[in-house]
Amino acid sequence: MRHEEVWRAIDTLAAEHGLSPSGLARKAGLDPTSFNISKRRTGDGRFRWPSTESLAKVRQATGARLEDFTALVMGARAIPEARGKGRTRIPLIGMAQAGAEGFFDDGGYPAGAGWDEVELPATTDVNAYALTISGESMAPVYREGDAIIVSPAAPVRVGDRVVARVADGAVMAKLLLRRTAGRVELGSLNPEFPELVFGAKDVVWMHRIIWASQ
């Protein structure tokens, strides 16, 4: 039983119940940050394991049997009766709020207790989340109030529509125009907005938009 296998099992169990890892922790009555990516290692890089008490509370909250959880640890991609369901409830927050501290962990995954939930088309990415558009920079494709689903697991290529967080804390929906080892260029779908250029190190993370409400 390896460290990454136990955490993968927790992530999979969360996804099968339409939850983020932080949502699963809340459902189990734990601190919402208990299962964050940043909490899985200590500051000096040593493995941090979930406690047996935490695992017991997770199983109780989800109804998962011990054999179900063990199967996930041993490599099963889903609990048999949940296979193929995907996620239909994912964490949601407004784009303007997303730039504030506490809504994303160090890996760029949704965290904290301020997220709502939204019922949207299923996705198998356990860390997918939704944002509501604010502003007009991506009009007319994305309008004020539209919801977008963002997948940290989806590969990002030039030409993709993305959500990026930059060093000053701003979170924005943009079009990836160009990316090199030292430079990232982002554009808007609305021609009235200028292109933005950042040093690669100033882009904290960048995730692909995989769906938008219309």
For residue 82, the model assigns a pLDDT of 45
Is the pLDDT at 197 greater than 90? The verdict is: yes
Mean pLDDT of the region 79-89: 52
Mean pLDDT of the region 206-212: 89
Instruction: Label residues 39-59 b or e (16+ Cβ within 10 Å = b).
Output: bbeeeeeeeeebeeebbebbb
2.10.109.10, 1.25.40.320, 1.20.210.10, 3.30.450.40: which CATH number matches 91-212?
2.10.109.10
For residue 164, the model assigns a pLDDT of 96
2.60.40.1180, 1.10.3720.10, 1.10.10.60, 1.10.260.40: which CATH number matches 3-82?
1.10.260.40
For residue 214, the model assigns a pLDDT of 55
From the list 75, 77, 127, 125, the residue with the least C-alpha distance to 104 is 127
- The amino acid occupying position 207 is H
Q: Is the pTM of this model over 0.85?
A: no
From the list 129, 124, 135, 134, the residue with the least C-alpha distance to 114 is 129
Domain positions in the chain are: 3-82, 91-212
> What kind and span of H or E run contains 3?
helix 3-16
Give the number of other CB atoms < 10 A from CB of residue 77.
Answer: 10
Residue 180: Cβ-neighbour burial (10 angstroms; 0-12, 13-18, 19+)? exposed
Is the pLDDT at 24 greater than 80? The verdict is: yes
The tens digit of pLDDT for each residue in 33-76 reads 999 888 898 888 899 999 999 999 999 988 888 888 888 787 66
Is the pLDDT at 81 greater than 70? The verdict is: no
Distance CA(119)–CA(160), nearest Å, equals 24
